[in-house]
A and B are shown apart, each in its own frame.
Chain A
Amino acid sequence: MSRAIAMLLGAMVAAAPFSALAAEPDGDEEIEEETDLRPADAETWSDPDLDVDYPQRSHLSFRAVGGGGLRAVHSTLIGGAEAELSLGADTKRGSFLGSLHVFGGRTEGGLPVGHFTFGPTLAWQLGLVSIGPKLRIGYFWIDRVTSDDPIDALTVGGAAALTVDLHRNEGFAVALNGELRADALLPFFEIFDDQGTTGLWGASLGLQIRLRAPRRTPPRTASVQ
């Protein structure tokens, strides 16, 4: 899992130059070739798509969510903290991202619990509100006190997310994030045994930070004639 997070962070670092380049105008010749804008226009051009619901051109998008959540498996309640990192694109048809999600907590009795998942995240913005599904596969475990082997399962499921923007400016947004989630806990070796197959239900509440990277050049349709 740490390797996957490192890869995600690596991808973010690789994307950082796109943001930095937005603040630096290209040479005069390149600007004239691409946009027909005079240098002064290019220097003052700022991406108008940064804060709209659906940008005309695709933008690199990064999202991070942190918060707390409850889970229920059989009759046992689990409380814990969770975090999710997503990287993808905001497009004119919605946002499409790949995500890594981590949950850590304890059962009512105090047994440590972990759950990590990954999968696609989709989101559609409707003004201040965003909704979208998440599909996830992953691994869930509960540590035992009677032995070192955990109670564990593969998970297949998803979540429905709702966010409400608290702040949005220049591609940076902070939102309240709520989710309802459901996963099937599947045994691998005893897949036909009813004993180990069950559902994991949950709800989460947290804060979301969104970053939409600006494009370095104006769209061609914005050329000055």
Chain B
Amino acid sequence: MFFALMSIGARGVGERELECEEAAVRLQDCCDDFDPTTMSCAYEWSCGGDGDLEPSLRTSTAECIQGLSCEELNASGVCHLLLLMEEPEEDEVRHPGSLDDVFAEVCS
């Protein structure tokens, strides 16, 4: 049975992944129409680093988001910016950049 468990291919519980997912739940609860599947909280490590994938939020940013109320998130405008990020990157001036950029001011 242990080998059956090993075959599941568990990847471990990373702090950055978990905090990112918790932050995504917060954003889903507070920001209307926000689709959390547009975020990536997966962490994948590969030999050589070519295929590395990291969560789109730093741990400190994710913890900051979890500490904000829905009123604070909406008033700061980040919910609106998140919806803009879901759109194709046609207008480079309007596009807010990375998720960490979106929250840089609120969480500074």
Residues 114-171 of A at the B interface (beta carbon under 8 Å): 118, 137-142, 144-147, 149, 151-154
Other A-B contacts than A144-B21, A152-B8, 18 sampled, CB-CB below 8 A, are A111-B22, A137-B2, A139-B5, A140-B10, A142-B13, A142-B21, A144-B41, A145-B21, A147-B42, A152-B11, A153-B10, A185-B13, A187-B11, A187-B12, A188-B11, A193-B12, A196-B11, A197-B12
Interface contact B21-A190, CB-CB below 8 Å: no
How far, in Å, is A140 (CB) from chain B's closest CB? 7
Interface contact B13-A146, CB-CB below 8 Å: no
A sample of 21 inter-chain contacts (CB < 8 A) reads A73-B18, A74-B15, A74-B19, A75-B19, A107-B22, A109-B25, A137-B2, A137-B5, A144-B24, A144-B41, A146-B24, A149-B42, A152-B10, A154-B10, A185-B13, A187-B12, A190-B12, A195-B14, A196-B11, A198-B12, A198-B13
Q: Which residues of A contact B66 (CB under 8 A)?
A: 108-109
Interface contact A110-B25, CB-CB below 8 Å: yes
Residue B74 interfacial (CB < 8 Å): no
Knowing A154-B5, A188-B9, A188-B11 touch, does A145 contact B28 (C-beta < 8 A)? Answer: yes
How far, in Å, is A175 (CB) from chain B's closest CB? 29
Q: Which residues of B contact A141 (CB under 8 A)?
A: 10
Residue A186 interfacial (CB < 8 Å): yes
Please measure, in the bound complex, the distance between the C-alpha atom of A187 and the C-alpha atom of B13, giving whole angstroms: 7
How far, in Å, is A34 (CB) from chain B's closest CB? 39
Interface footprint category on A: 35 or more
Interface string of B17-35 (1 = CB under 8 A from A): 1111111111011000000
Please measure, in the bound complex, the distance between the C-alpha atom of A197 and the C-alpha atom of B12, giving whole angstroms: 6
Q: Which residues of B contact A193 (CB under 8 A)?
A: 12, 45
How far, in Å, is B107 (CB) from chain A's closest CB? 16
Closest B residue to A141 by CB, please name it: B10
Please measure, in the bound complex, the distance between the C-alpha atom of A138 and the C-alpha atom of B41, giving whole angstroms: 24
Closest B residue to A73 by CB, please name it: B13
Knowing A145-B36, A152-B8 touch, does A140 contact B22 (C-beta < 8 A)? Answer: no
**Which secondary structure dominates where chain B touches chain A?**
helix
Q: Which residues of A contact B26 (CB under 8 A)?
A: 109
Interface contact B22-A76, CB-CB below 8 Å: yes
Interface footprint category on B: 35 or more
Cβ-neighbour of B1 out of A118, A146, A151 (below 8 A): A118
Closest B residue to A148 by CB, please name it: B37
Interface contact A139-B18, CB-CB below 8 Å: no
Interface contact A153-B28, CB-CB below 8 Å: no
Interface contact B10-A187, CB-CB below 8 Å: yes
Knowing A153-B10, A185-B12, A185-B13 touch, does A146 contact B41 (C-beta < 8 A)? Answer: yes
Interface contact A108-B10, CB-CB below 8 Å: no
Interface contact B24-A151, CB-CB below 8 Å: no
**Most chain B CB within a 10 A radius of its CB, from A139, A186, A195:** A195
Closest B residue to A156 by CB, please name it: B2
Q: Which residues of A contact B19 (CB under 8 A)?
A: 74-76
How far, in Å, is B26 (CB) from chain A's closest CB? 6
How far, in Å, is B71 (CB) from chain A's closest CB? 18
Please measure, in the bound complex, the distance between the C-alpha atom of A111 and the C-alpha atom of B28, giving whole angstroms: 12
